[in-house]
C-alpha cells in the first residue's frame, strides 16, 4: 500500500511538471509562432517600393541602363486595404498606369507617391512605367492579388 501511495505522488508530480512546462512554453514562445496562421489584419497594409536604376559600361564604351520598380513583384490579398508607397530614387520622373484599371500617376525623384488601393478581383496586375520603355523591356512591376 505504501509503495502505491508513493507512485501516485510521483504521477501527480510528473503531471504538474508537464503542465508547468507547457505553460512556460506557451508564454515564452515567440509571438510570431502564434500569429502566423492568425486572422487577417483589418487595418491597411503598407508596401514600400522604390524606383531603381541599373547602369553599366561595356568595354567598348557603350553605356547600358535599365530602370526598375523594386521590389518587382508584390503579393496582396483580395479585398485587403493596401497602401503602396512608391519612393522616387532613380530617374527624374516615372509616369505609370496599372494595366486593366483606371489607376495612373507619376513618381518623381525625391518624392513619395501613395496608392491606397483595394483589389476586388484576383489576378496579376502590371504596374507599367510609360516613361521608360527601354531596350530590355518596359519598366514593369507585378501586383499579384490572390
Ligand atoms: Cu520609369
Q: What local confidence, expressed as pLDDT, does residue 11 receive?
A: 76
Each residue's pLDDT tens digit, 15-36: 778 877 777 776 666 555 555 5
pTM of the entire structure?
A: 0.70
Interval between CA 132 and ligand 1 midpoint (Å)? 4
Q: pLDDT tens, 109-131?
A: 999 999 999 999 999 999 999 99
84 Cα to the center of ligand 1, angstroms: 16
Given the C-alpha cell 478581383, which residue does it identify?
121
CATH of 45-145, one of 3.30.200.20, 2.60.40.1260, 3.40.50.1860, 2.60.40.420: 2.60.40.420
In the structure, ligand 1 is a single-atom ion and the residues with CB under 5 Å from it are 67, 94, 129, 131-132, 139
**Could you tell me what percent of the chain has a pLDDT over 70?**
84
C-beta separation of 79 from 42 below 8 A: no
3-state secondary structure of 22: helix
Mean predicted confidence (pLDDT) in 83-110: 97
Q: What distance in Å separates the CA atoms of residue 49 and residue 116, rounded to the nearest whole number?
A: 13
CA of 54 relative to ligand 1 center, distance in Å: 12
* Residues 6 or more apart in contact with residue 80 via CB below 8 angstroms: 40, 45, 118, 119
The pLDDT value recorded for residue 135 is 81
Domain ranges of the chain: 2-35, 45-145
Which whole number is the average pLDDT over 37-56? 85
Could you read off the pLDDT of 68-88 as tens digits, one per residue? Answer: 999 999 999 999 999 999 999
Smallest Cα–Cα separation from 138: which of 96, 87, 100? 96
Amino acid at each position: 500500500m505504501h509503495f502505491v501511495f508513493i507512485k501516485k505522488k510521483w504521477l501527480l508530480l510528473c503531471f504538474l511538471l508537464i503542465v508547468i512546462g507547457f505553460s512556460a512554453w506557451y508564454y515564452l514562445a515567440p509571438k510570431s509562432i502564434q500569429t502566423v496562421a492568425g486572422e487577417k489584419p483589418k487595418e491597411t497594409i503598407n508596401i514600400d517600393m522604390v524606383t531603381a536604376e541599373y547602369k553599366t559600361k561595356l568595354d567598348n564604351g557603350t553605356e547600358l541602363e535599365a530602370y526598375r520598380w523594386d521590389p518587382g513583384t508584390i503579393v496582396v490579398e483580395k479585398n485587403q486595404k493596401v497602401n503602396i508607397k512608391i519612393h522616387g530614387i532613380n530617374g527624374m520622373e516615372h509616369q505609370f498606369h496599372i494595366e486593366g484599371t483606371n489607376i495612373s500617376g507619376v513618381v518623381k525623384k525625391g518624392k513619395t507617391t501613395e496608392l491606397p488601393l483595394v483589389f476586388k478581383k484576383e489576378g496579376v496586375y502590371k504596374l507599367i512605367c510609360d516613361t521608360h520603355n527601354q531596350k530590355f523591356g518596359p519598366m514593369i512591376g507585378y501586383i499579384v492579388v490572390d
